[in-house]
């Protein structure tokens, strides 16, 4: 029995009132817009204010996700929160003020973050992590004289002691929290009293238990804390059953039931209406009314199953979300997963039905945490399978992006090949004529002239060879570009590569749009030498950046033409003539090499700069961009070459992308 | 008469010099070369008192052949030099644009040198 009671209160969380949880989308949107405001803010006091609001939203979002069983999302959100809050800049923002109250407010949020993260660790069975996070929250809170998080941390530790059946330690710990005045702890004071009562109850000190529950109840009533009321009513009902006072027990159980009928469950507490029904069942065993006993057993069972079903549905919803991202996964596959999840639901219900028929002993064991863990493990396997498929799809997408950019290149390549081939044909024809002339000169006896012609022929043969090789390199490059497997790094002439892809991009664009033209500038640092890179990958990045630059300058040109057209043909000299310019330059710097692609196009609006490396993000009209170009470029530069890809842009004035590669 | 050949491919110079070596030797044709539209305009400035025929590629980085054509035809009051355009893309759009800008002839790559020779000599 003790074990079940502990399980009920496993996951008590404080700090946020779940009754006021907001819809998820709203919250995400809010975090996004607050973050934008935060980045834009230049005054420290405003930054601090916004930062505090953002961390609050993060915790609330993560907490809600945990409470509704979306563990993966909760985990992700907590990590975002830690990243945001534990950033050096954030701490120094608060420290700079030299105001101990403001500094303290930083640590208040930090302690609260650790504390709530501890719950997620508990819910997902990471007991060591859980304890570590509670202790960390406690440590920080004590150092900063923060009564709320100090008592929360202690409560968490007390819970762990309770789970381990170390009632003495649990009692000592929880009693420390009660040394603080109720006013300092606030909303969740009643929950601490409830825990104290439960520990006393389990130690069979029923009078002390009753005392704590009653105090908890009056505090919860005063604060209008329905959860606190439901918990302490429940505690009192249990205590009165133990004291053999069935009338009082019944009354309190019904009070708790009334609230829980609305609340149904406090999932994060693993306290639910089924627990109250179970208490009523215990009560009727005591008073000996078989009908009611059976009724409440059935109700406890039914509700237990219902809530379990809900959790499975939530898990399935989480899977569904992952599945939705999977663009090419077949519909049948999704169906299969749904069927499986349904099958699992039904088999689970079947097992539970058998368990209930077997009676109390099995009914108890069904509540045990292990069950949940097994379920979780199977869900995890499912999620991992989905992830594996997601990776496969990603690989396919990458290949198709390669083919898209190959398509862009084809026209450029055709042009690039035609020129060298023309030279090969022309110089060989001319050489043929020259040989005839040379023979004539020799017959005339003018050997000097013949020698001169021979020189020319030799020169022509070299040219034929040069242009043949040029065509050959273009074809090879094209094959490399679409090659499926990851290629090896090789010592590469970056300047030559940049020049080649600039030409290809230019002619590719020209072939698609004859009216397009841009001033191309190159500025190559000859001292950079050979750099170890995967040439076709870096080539693809350069191609992508130049293609984007062309797009940007063209958009600007079009918009300017519109403005001019709007002015009629009047001689409006306000508008300077716009020369679309795209430049590519290279630069050697210490042990690094930089490739800079710069344009004077439309620039990137501030609100999307952060998103440009996200897969599928594109500002081009539908069908014109895959939204994968920059994300792949980023991937290639950072992961493939341990380099950096940085952007510097001003809306309406232009953009400059800098690729920085290590030279080793 | 001087023929100004404009093309961003450097080897075009050697090719023309060899293709027309006999005509050059006999003094029938004279060639000057420019490797961009901008360079072509500068060259033209230095040739103001001579009759010039211009043979220009269309696809060049920076100033395109069409832009060059537009500038030449609008700059010279009377009579503007003869301009022949050369391009790898023998499409209607380029052709029409070139014509509307006042191009005197339109050639597609690969250039048929026999025909070009006739055209140049008859001009």
Q: Is A571 a residue whose pLDDT tops 80?
A: no
Q: Domains of chain B (ranges plus CATH)? A: 2-107 (3.40.50.2300)
Q: Contacts of residue B13 in chain A, CB cutoff 8 Å?
A: none
d(CA A37, CA A47) in angstroms, rounded, equals 9
Domain boundary among A145, A165, A187: A145
Chain B partners of A519 at a C-beta cutoff of 8 Å? 61-63
Interface predicted TM-score (ipTM): 0.88
What CATH number corresponds to the domain at position A563? 3.30.565.10
Do residues A409 and A523 both lie within one domain?
no
Quick count: other Cβ atoms within 10 Å of Cβ A299? Answer: 18
Residue A263 lies in a domain: no
C-beta atoms of B11 and A520 within 8 A: no
Asked if the structure places residue A436 within a domain, the reply is: yes
State the smallest CA–CA distance between residue B114 and chain A in angstroms.
12
Read off the pLDDT of each residue in A196-207 and give the average, rounded to a whole number: 93
Contact A415 B59 (CB under 8 A): yes
For the four alpha carbons of B11, B15, B21 and B23, in that order, the dihedral sign comes to negative
For residue A102, pLDDT over 50 is answered with: yes
Residue A335 in domain? no
**Residues of A with CB below 8 A from B97's CB?**
514
pLDDT in the model for residue B90: 67
Interface contact A417, partner B, CB < 8 A: no
A116 and A41 within one domain? yes
pLDDT confidence band for A2 (50 / 70 / 90): very low
A residues 465-484 lying closer than 8 A (beta carbon) to B:
467
Give the pair of three-digit tokens for residue A618.
């594109």
Q: Please provide the average confidence, as pLDDT, over all residues in chain A.
A: 81
Q: Are residues A602 and A533 in the same domain?
A: yes
Q: Are residues A496 and A481 in the same domain?
A: no
Question: Quick one: pLDDT at residue A333?
Answer: 58
Q: Cα(A483)–Cα(B108) distance, rounded to whole angstroms?
A: 34
Assess if residue A552 is contained within a domain: yes
CA distance B92 to B101: 14
Last residue of a domain, one of A451, A485, A519: A485
Residue A255 in any domain: the answer is: no
Residues of B in contact with A423 (CB under 8 A): 9, 11, 15
The DSSP 8-state label assigned to residue B86 in this structure reads: E
Three-state DSSP string of A521-554: EEECCHHHCEEEECHHHHHHHHHHHHHHHHHHHH
- The answer to whether A329 touches A389, Cβ cutoff 8 Å, is yes
A498-540 residue pLDDT tens? 988 898 888 888 877 778 888 889 999 999 889 999 888 898 8
pLDDT digits (tens, 9 = 90+) for A301-318: 888 888 777 766 665 554
Q: Is residue A299 part of a domain?
A: no
Q: Is residue A475 part of a domain?
A: yes
Percent of chain A with pLDDT over 90: 33
**Domain-terminating residue out of A126, A145, A164:** A145
pLDDT in tens, A233-280: 999 999 999 999 999 999 999 999 999 988 877 655 667 888 899 899
pLDDT at A405: 63
Look at B59 and A520 and tell me if their CB atoms are within 8 Å: no
φ, ψ at A100 (rounded to 5°):
-65, -30
B89 touching A, CB under 8 A?
yes
Using one digit for the tens of pLDDT, what is the confidence trace for A159-172?
A: 888 888 889 999 99
User: Quick check: B92 contacting A, CB < 8 Å?
Assistant: no
Cβ burial, residue A113 (10 Å; 0-12/13-18/19+):
buried
Residues A116 and A34 in one domain: yes
A421 and A538 inside one domain: no
Please tell me whether the overall predicted TM-score, pTM, comes out greater than 0.90 for this model.
no
Is the confidence at residue A98, as pLDDT, over 60? yes
Distance in angstroms (rounded) separating the CA atoms of residues A522 and A595: 11
Cβ contact, residue pair A419, B64, below 8 Å? no
Beta carbons of B15 and A427 less than 8 Å apart? yes
How much is the pLDDT for A8? 35
Interface of B with A in 18-37 (CB under 8 A): 18-19
Same domain, A646 and A593: yes
d(CA A502, CA A545): 10
Whether residue A233 lies inside any domain: the answer is no
Average pLDDT, chain B: 87
Record: contact A514-B89, CB cut-off 8 A: yes
d(CA A585, CA A601): 17
Does the beta carbon of A514 lie under 8 angstroms from any beta carbon of chain B? Answer: yes
pLDDT in the model for residue A498: 92
A550 touches chain B (CB under 8 A): no
Give the nearest partner residue to B9 out of A419, A434, A514, using CB atoms. A419
Q: What tokens appear for A67 in the block? A: 């409470």
Residue A474 and residue A511 share a domain: no
> In sequence order, what are the residues at sequence separation of 6 or more whose Cβ sits closer than 8 angstroms to the Cβ of residue A311?
A69, A267
Are A410 and A454 in a shared domain? yes
Q: Give the domain extent around A658.
A: 492-662
The domain tally of chain A equals 3
Q: Where are the extended beta strands (E) located within A439-529?
A: 490-493, 519-523
Q: Answer yes or no: do A456 and A586 share one domain.
A: no
Residues A471 and A620 in one domain: no
pLDDT at A649: 92
pLDDT at A639: 85
Is residue A508 packed enough to be buried (19+ CB in 10 Å), middle (13-18) or exposed (0-12)? buried
Q: What is the pLDDT of residue A516?
A: 84
Same domain, A628 and A547: yes
Q: Which residues of B touch A517 (CB under 8 A)?
A: 64, 67
The whole-angstrom distance between A534's CA and the closest CA on chain B is: 27
Of B11, B91, B109, the CB nearest to A418: B109
C-beta neighbour count of A167 within 10 angstroms: 16
């Amino acid at each position: 029995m003790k074990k079940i009671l502990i399980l009920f209160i496993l996951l008590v969380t404080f700090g946020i009132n779940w009754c006021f949880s907001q819809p998820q989308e709203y919250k995400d949107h809010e975090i996004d817009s607050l973050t934008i405001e935060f980045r834009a803010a230049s005054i420290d006091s405003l930054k601090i204010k916004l930062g505090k609001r953002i961390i609050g939203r993060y915790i609330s979002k993560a907490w809600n996700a945990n409470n509704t069983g979306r563990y993966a999302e909760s985990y992700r959100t907590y990590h975002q929160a830690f990243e945001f809050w534990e950033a050096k800049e954030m701490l120094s923002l608060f420290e700079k003020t030299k105001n101990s109250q403001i500094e303290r407010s930083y640590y208040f949020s930090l302690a609260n973050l650790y504390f709530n993260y501890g719950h997620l660790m508990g819910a997902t069975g990471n007991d060591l992590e859980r304890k570590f996070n509670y202790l960390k929250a406690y440590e920080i809170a004590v150092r900063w004289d923060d009564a709320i998080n100090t008592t929360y941390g202690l409560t968490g530790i007390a819970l762990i002691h309770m789970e381990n059946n170390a009632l003495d330690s649990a009692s000592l710990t929880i009693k420390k929290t009660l040394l603080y005045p109720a006013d300092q702890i606030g909303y969740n004071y009643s929950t601490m009293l409830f825990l104290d009562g439960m520990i006393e109850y389990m130690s069979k000190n029923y009078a002390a238990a009753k005392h704590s529950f009653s105090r908890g109840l009056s505090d919860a009533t005063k604060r209008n804390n329905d959860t606190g009321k439901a918990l302490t009513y429940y505690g009192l009902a249990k205590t009165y059953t133990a004291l053999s006072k069935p009338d009082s027990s019944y009354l309190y159980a019904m009070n708790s039931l009334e609230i829980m009928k609305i609340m149904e469950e406090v999932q994060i507490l693993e306290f639910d209406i089924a627990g109250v029904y179970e208490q009523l069942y215990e009560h009727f065993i005591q008073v000996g009314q078989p009908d009611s006993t059976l009724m409440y057993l059935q109700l406890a069972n039914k509700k237990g199953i219902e809530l379990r079903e809900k959790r499975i549905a939530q898990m399935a919803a989480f899977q569904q979300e992952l599945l939705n991202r999977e663009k090419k996964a077949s519909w049948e596959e999704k169906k299969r997963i749904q069927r499986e999840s349904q099958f699992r639901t039904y088999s689970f219900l079947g097992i539970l039905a058998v368990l209930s028929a077997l009676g109390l002993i099995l009914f108890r064991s069904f509540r045990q945490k292990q069950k949940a863990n097994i379920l979780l493990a199977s869900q995890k396997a499912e999620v991992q399978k989905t992830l594996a498929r997601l990776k496969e799809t990603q690989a396919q997408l990458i290949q198709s992006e390669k083919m898209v950019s190959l398509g862009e290149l084809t026209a450029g390549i055709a042009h690039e090949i035609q020129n060298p081939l023309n030279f090969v044909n022309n110089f060989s024809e001319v050489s043929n004529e020259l040989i005839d002339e040379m023979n004539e000169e020799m017959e005339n006896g003018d050997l000097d002239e013949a020698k001169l012609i021979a020189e020319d022929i030799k020169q022509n043969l070299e040219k034929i060879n040069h242009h043949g090789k040029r065509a050959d390199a273009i074809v090879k490059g094209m094959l490399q570009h679409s090659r499926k497997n990851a290629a090896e790094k090789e010592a590469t002439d970056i300047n030559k590569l940049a020049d080649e892809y600039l030409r290809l991009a230019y002619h590719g664009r020209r072939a698609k749009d004859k009216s397009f033209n841009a001033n191309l500038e190159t500025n190559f640092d000859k001292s950079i030498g050979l750099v170890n890179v995967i040439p076709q990958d870096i080539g693809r990045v350069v191609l992508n950046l130049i293609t984007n630059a062309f797009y940007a300058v063209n958009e600007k040109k079009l918009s300017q033409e519109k403005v001019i057209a709007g002015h009629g043909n009047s001689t409006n000299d306000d508008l300077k003539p716009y020369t679309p310019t795209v430049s590519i330059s290279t630069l050697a710097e210490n042990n690094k090499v930089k490739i800079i692609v710069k344009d004077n196009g439309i620039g990137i609006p501030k609100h999307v700069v952060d998103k440009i490396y996200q897969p599928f993000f594109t500002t081009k009209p539908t069908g014109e961009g895959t939204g994968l170009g920059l994300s792949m470029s980023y991937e290639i530069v950072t992961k493939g070459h341990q380099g950096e890809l940085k952007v510097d842009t001003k809306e309406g004035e232009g953009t400059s992308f800098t690729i920085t590669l290590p030279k080793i | 008469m001087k023929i100004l050949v404009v093309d961003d491919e450097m080897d075009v110079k050697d090719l023309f010099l060899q293709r027309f070596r006999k005509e050059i030797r006999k003094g029938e044709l004279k060639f000057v070369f420019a490797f961009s539209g901008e360079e072509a305009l500068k060259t033209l400035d230095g040739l103001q008192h001579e009759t010039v025929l211009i043979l220009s590629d269309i696809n060049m980085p920076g100033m395109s052949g069409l832009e060059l054509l537009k500038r030449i035809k609008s700059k010279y009051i009377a009579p503007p030099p003869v301009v022949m355009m050369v391009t790898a893309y023998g499409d209607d759009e380029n052709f029409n644009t070139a014509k509307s800008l006042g191009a005197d002839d339109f050639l597609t790559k690969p250039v048929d040198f026999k025909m070009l020779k006739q055209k140049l000599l008859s001009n």
